[in-house]
């Protein structure tokens, strides 16, 4: 259904065009949901993950398990850093909307 028989992709056109367009659309979609939910759902490692999934979806690193585990390891490392530096005692920037003075 609408599949290009030459390269087996759902849409025709060059990959250099569709990868950034699809990545931008996905990022905008998640950002829109974040605005509606009033929650910060966009985070720094999401952009490269989205681009990897749309540009090279057949790579092992683009598998869902590897992506989820990579993000969980990043969250765990961030939590360890927060606990080691004592930043958990500081007020949340997202709730107070002010940057703590250094």
Domain that holds residue 81: 15-89
Is residue 40 included in any domain, yes or no? yes
Domain assignment present for residue 52? The answer is yes
Does residue 64 belong to any structural domain of this protein? yes
Which residue positions in the chain have pLDDT lower than 70? 1-12, 94, 96-102
Does residue 98 fall inside a structural domain?
no
**Domain for residue 24, yes or no?**
yes
Given 3-state DSSP classes, what are the helix, strand and coil percentages for the chain, each rounded to the nearest 5? 65, 0, 35
Q: What is the pTM of this model?
A: 0.62
58 falls within a domain:
yes
Q: Would you say residue 60 lies in a domain?
A: yes
Tens-digit pLDDT profile for residues 68-91: 999 899 999 999 999 999 888 887
Query: How many domains is the chain partitioned into structurally?
Result: 1
């Amino acid at each position: 259904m609408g599949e290009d028989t030459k390269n087996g992709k759902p849409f025709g056109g060059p990959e250099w065009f569709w990868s950034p367009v699809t990545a931008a659309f996905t990022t905008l979609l998640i950002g829109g949901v974040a605005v509606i939910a009033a929650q910060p759902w966009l985070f720094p490692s999401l952009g490269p993950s989205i681009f990897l999934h749309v540009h090279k979806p057949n790579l092992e690193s683009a598998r869902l398990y590897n992506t989820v585990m990579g993000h969980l390891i990043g969250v765990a490392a961030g939590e360890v850093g927060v606990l080691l530096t004592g930043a958990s005692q500081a007020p949340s920037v997202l709730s107070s909307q002010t940057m703590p003075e250094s």
